Structure 1
Amino acid sequence: MSQDTDNQLLGVVLLVRHGDRQGFYQDPDTYTATATQITPLGNQQEFLLGSDLRSLYLNESSPSYIPGMSTGLFNPSQVYIQADFGDENGVIYDSCVSLTQGLWPATSSNNITLANGTMITAPLGGYQYIPIETVDPNLSIALEGFANCNTFNTHTTEFYNSSIFQEMATQSASFLDSLPPYLNGRSVQLENMWNIYDFMNVNDIHNATFAKALPATYLAQVQTLANWHEYNVFSDQSIGGIGNIAGLAILPSILNGFADVMNSTNPVQLSITAISYKPFLSLFNMTGVASANPSLAGIVNYAAAVALELRQPSESSEPVIRFNFKNGSDADFVTYNFLNRTGDVPLSAFIDAMAPVAINTTATWCSVCDNNQDSGCAALALATEQGEAAARPKISPAGAGVLGAGLTLIVVVLMGFTLAFLGVLTISRFRGRRSRHPGTFELKKDGESI
């Protein structure tokens, strides 16, 4: 990670992938997932990632220390953490717990003195219990915008029917036909490439017999095909295209993280969002990082992390963003150019590029995904239907003329409250905490809008 002394680090917005887990299956058409569990290796990977982040951002001797951040006891006013609690059945949340153990390790300072003078230290040598907000995809689409998204499913089907997919299927057919001995009955169709890779990768890590029998180049070849498959599914030629839905839905979390850093009254200097690999693919596509670095156009490793640093240059009044990426717990952070620019990018440029396409409310997601049943869409559809029914005249034309305007106004107001409530509640549960209206990203510094 590049360092310099010409600007001050104001805060960091982190996106982290979970650690190693047991086997996992995803429907190739809808990406509906089965349950799995984290492994001790996965916990260790996340702990190591947390320790690295602690050394980088919570160490006063580090060039990237976040000024004012507590280096010992966790300070809840300085940090916000959320974790996807749907995809992979708790693995992401469990990973986030291990991450926080590395960031804020046990300390004897985590104690309390009772009225009788007895000092009590927290269990496990002063273990710190870090609050993590869970994001249920049944209530919020913020971290799994792709789930139950009908237009995204159509996008996936169109990709499978495309000429480029058919060409790849033809090119890879002989190799795929050689895989059945290593797949325990799984389909070897290119459409199933994610599940082929995941099964082989999990067994290569945890099954010694499998790892010994697998030809030396097979896993790398399978991963190359899986990277191509997943990047094409979770990306789009247009920044606001439906293929980027995983990234479009997570953008409000990123933008809100920057807004929290810039809050001069009560800044939150470190925001952490724990997710699956899918938003990484969309984000790399949307920011142009993948096009400039083809090696990143694929599935990120376990415990990978994007660190979006918000910095204040000495020669400018406007903050800038630095894009850093660490592809796994054993990798180093690398700084990448993004948005077709060289070096750090002005915050306003990032907002101008991303805010217009961000999915800020459940109502917007329901419309974009053509869904009137899931993730709060049924409640929104019902509210709309009831509002329209209530607004229809049920008395004589003369009476309707007198009452129509007033009744319609009342219904519109009630619908507004209902839709606003549902939109805020289901897009992101932390919005109430942050007291920010959906869809608005006004960042201020010292009272001045940026």
Structure 2
Amino acid sequence: MRDPAASFLAVLALIVPGSSAQATNTKVERVWSSVSWVHYGDRTPFVSATNPATLTPLGAHRLLNQGGAVRDRYLWRTRVGPDENGDDIAPIAGISRNAIDNSQLNILSTTDSYVVGSALAFLQGLYPPVTQAFPNATGGIEAASLSNGTVMNYPLGGYQYPNVRTFSRANDPDSIWLQGHAHCPEYLHSMLYPANDSYAASINEANLDFYRGLYNRTFKGAFALSSTNFFNAYNLYDYANYHYTHKNNNNDDDDDDDDNNSLGLDMGEMLRLRALASVEQRWRNGNLTVSGSTPGDRIRAISGRTLAAKVMSFFMDNIRSGGQVSKLNLVFTSFEPFLAFFSLAGLTAGPSYQLFNPLPYPGATMLFELFSLHDEDDSSFPGMANLSVRFLYRNGTEEGSRFRVYSIFDNVVAYPDMSFSQFAKYMEGVGVATVRDWCRICDSAAFFCAAADGNGNGGWGSGNDGGGGRGLFGEGRRGGLSPTAAGAVGAVVTLAVTGLVLLVTMLVGGLRFHKAAGAKRGSFFGGGFKGPEKKEDDADVEYAKGGVRHERTGSWELRDGVKKSSGPGLSVNTVGASESVRPVSPVSPVSPASVTGVGATVIARDLAHPAKQADDDNLSVYGQEPVRPREF
């Protein structure tokens, strides 16, 4: 006998178009693109005998684990939903899951060895060694096969080779998207005289006795007494945390241990050092009330503004290609962009402020996901109106920690996902759209600022985008070169014209230059930039242990000793309600395991790490009058 219910559904399907599809099709989620912003791993401190700083084995292992966590979310499965451990998985549509296909990825890093090393360790966890897997983008099985029938795997058990792109902060305009604060004069100037800021000064005064009490047993020999204060809180914590993690012998009964292997710090003191370092770095990178040369430019959060632009650039590339490129985008940087973006996105004052106010732990990762809801049998790329975005964060690499979704900007907590158009509106509101905009905001004299054309030379996080100067959806943007950049352009043009005239004169008129008899060695022609002081065997550029040393007669950092105000202090909402101007207590909650196992990262090295620099253009103590630089 035929089932009456089945007969009813069959008749319903005939008289109501689409009812059958509605009864059988379900909505599924597809992730099209992800931006993973990764804080580098545990490293040696900047103030140490190890120069330059290097990634530690602990740091490499933890970045390997973090790469594995991202693999579990994006590559391991093909269906969305929780896995057997209850963790959410969100596989990226169409991505190569076992063999790395660099055409689908963007992997960006600064040139610092500990950052590049972190990227490589992370990629080992994301795409571990594999045999008998050859992506078509690299030639597939044909490239691995020999004429005698042998199929060769890559060395080291099928080690995979990621294409990690590094950007020099000094020479590459694309470097600003990774670390917008580096080589930004206005950012550095806003912090030249921190003692003039009443908020920072009150924090320093309230905690000065704590720092001085640690000096003889912890910091003596590594830091000057005058720099053992709140204004150097991060460097002090960075140094102490490394020794606490790697050289702590407090529990060792051997009385013969070298005192240098134990700083004598207990956990409460370490927590307080970390809390103070967190307050200091939020003051430097998350204070939205301070302006540079333009009122309201939020100069202290400049690295978060460039981060916002780069995230939008990746998503727009993915959308324009119909989901074919920029599927997984990995950016490896220091912590400044994290703190700046947390502040810009309202995370430091939100319900989870206790997570976003302290310094990120090494390996901490932000995820921005572009996704949509589809009928199960529909694999086409959706229209922009059907795209959504969510933000996830995992602070550190500890076992058991998970990527969790958090609401950003003004989005309500109950609905952390937002439409792409809404996300784009917020990101464009805080972002720096072009290289030219960054050059203007920072008042930078970098050579690529002088080379930026009138159209902006790259829009929305792309230094080589042919549509320079455009807004998010192609709107025109106005604004000329800054006076500094315009002057540099004029100088370049003048030199080019002069050289051209001289060349023509030599070719047509027979003009020649001759060294006069009896002229001293090293005179102008043939003397290099040292002029008459140069000997024939001198090199034009000297190389020191840390890199190139440049001859200089001054620098923009000093600005002839003219002071600039650091702007108003932070409000309670900006800093976070967990800390005040009284002596800072340990941040709660912080587990002992998370303190003993991790370190922190680097602040703007051009100003804050004079011990690492050969040139004393950089100020060694905040608040002092500038000094003339030592010449070589």
If the TM-score is normalised by the length of the shorter chain, which range does it land in? 0.7 to 0.9
Offset of residue 164 of structure 1: 1.1
Offset of residue 178 of structure 1: 1.2
Larger helix fraction of residues: 1
Q: 2:576 maps to which residue?
A: none
Correspondence 1:192 to 2:232: yes
Residue of 354, 357, 360 corresponding to 1:300: 360
Q: Aligned equivalents of 2:284 and 2:263: distance in 1? A: 32
Q: Any residues of structure 2 matched to 1:188-337 within 5 Å, and which?
A: 188-209=228-249, 210=261, 213-237=264-288, 240-265=297-322, 266-292=324-350, 293-295=352-354, 296-313=356-373, 317-330=385-398, 331-337=401-407
| 1:326–1:334 CA contact under 8 A, matched in 2 | yes
Q: Aligned equivalents of 2:195 and 2:124: distance in 1? A: 42
CA shift digits 1:53-96 (9 cap, x unpaired): 111110125531112221111122322111122xxx32111110
Q: 1:226 to 1:375 in 2, by over 3 A?
A: farther
Normalised to the residue count of structure 1, the TM-score between the two structures is 0.79
How many residue pairs match? The answer is 388
Normalised to the residue count of structure 2, the TM-score between the two structures is 0.57
Q: 1:67 maps to which residue?
A: 93
Instruction: Choose 108-117 or 128-137, whichever is displaced more.
Output: 108-117
Correspondence 1:442 to 2:473: yes
Residue of 97, 103, 121 corresponding to 2:120: 97
| 2:194–2:231 CA contact under 8 A, matched in 1 | no
Correspondence 1:17 to 2:52: no
| 2:458–2:467 CA contact under 8 A, matched in 1 | no
CA shift digits 1:164-204 (9 cap, x unpaired): 11211121122112111211331312111111010001111
Q: Any residues of structure 2 matched to 1:130-141 within 5 Å, and which?
A: 130-138=162-170, 139-140=172-173, 141=176
Q: 2:183 maps to which residue?
A: 148
| 2:367–2:391 CA contact under 8 A, matched in 1 | yes
CA shift digits 1:234-291 (9 cap, x unpaired): 0132684101111112222111111133234433221111111110000111111121
Offset of residue 25 of structure 1: 4.9
Q: Any residues of structure 2 matched to 1:427-438 within 5 Å, and which?
A: 431-432=463-464, 437-438=468-469
| 1:259–1:442 CA contact under 8 A, matched in 2 | no
Letter in 1 for 2:37: L
Instruction: Choose 216-225 or 339-348, whichever is displaced more.
Output: 339-348
Q: Aligned equivalents of 2:262 and 2:467: distance in 1? A: 51
Q: 1:205 to 1:439 in 2, by over 3 A?
A: farther
| 2:434–2:468 CA contact under 8 A, matched in 1 | no
Letter in 2 for 1:250: L
Q: Aligned equivalents of 2:146 and 2:28: distance in 1? A: 47
Offset of residue 35 of structure 1: 3.0
Q: 1:124 to 1:110 in 2, by over 3 A?
A: farther
Offset of residue 436 of structure 1: 5.4
Offset of residue 154 of structure 1: 2.5
Letter in 1 for 2:159: Y
**What residue ranges of structure 2 are gaps of 5+ in the alignment?**
1-26, 82-89, 135-143, 250-260, 290-295, 376-383, 475-632
Q: Aligned equivalents of 2:97 and 2:363: distance in 1? A: 22
Correspondence 1:162 to 2:185: no
CA shift digits 1:300-322 (9 cap, x unpaired): 00001001111214699432211
Q: 1:116 maps to which residue?
A: 148
| 1:21–1:37 CA contact under 8 A, matched in 2 | yes
Instruction: Choose 235-244 or 191-200, whichever is displaced more.
Output: 235-244
Letter in 2 for 1:294: Y
Q: Aligned equivalents of 1:272 and 1:237: distance in 2? A: 27
Q: 1:147 to 1:212 in 2, by over 3 A?
A: closer
Specify the SS of the correspondent of 1:262.
helix
Letter in 1 for 2:118: S
Q: 2:448 maps to which residue?
A: 376
Q: 1:11 to 1:371 in 2, by over 3 A?
A: closer
CA shift digits 1:16-41 (9 cap, x unpaired): 01111111259xxxxxxx73111111
Which runs of structure 1 show a deviation greater than 6 angstroms over 4 or more consecutive aligned residues?
Answer: none
RMSD over aligned CA atoms reads: 2.7
Specify the SS of the correspondent of 2:308.
helix
Q: Aligned equivalents of 2:345 and 2:333: distance in 1? A: 18
| 2:391–2:405 CA contact under 8 A, matched in 1 | yes
Residue of 430, 434, 438 corresponding to 1:361: 434
Q: Aligned equivalents of 1:334 and 1:189: distance in 2? A: 36
Q: 1:384 maps to which residue?
A: none
Instruction: Choose 226-235 or 266-275, whichever is displaced more.
Output: 266-275
Q: 1:338 maps to which residue?
A: 408
Q: Aligned equivalents of 1:298 and 1:442: distance in 2? A: 35
Q: Aligned equivalents of 2:321 and 2:188: distance in 1? A: 42
Specify the SS of the correspondent of 2:424.
helix
| 2:243–2:263 CA contact under 8 A, matched in 1 | no
Offset of residue 9 of structure 1: 2.2
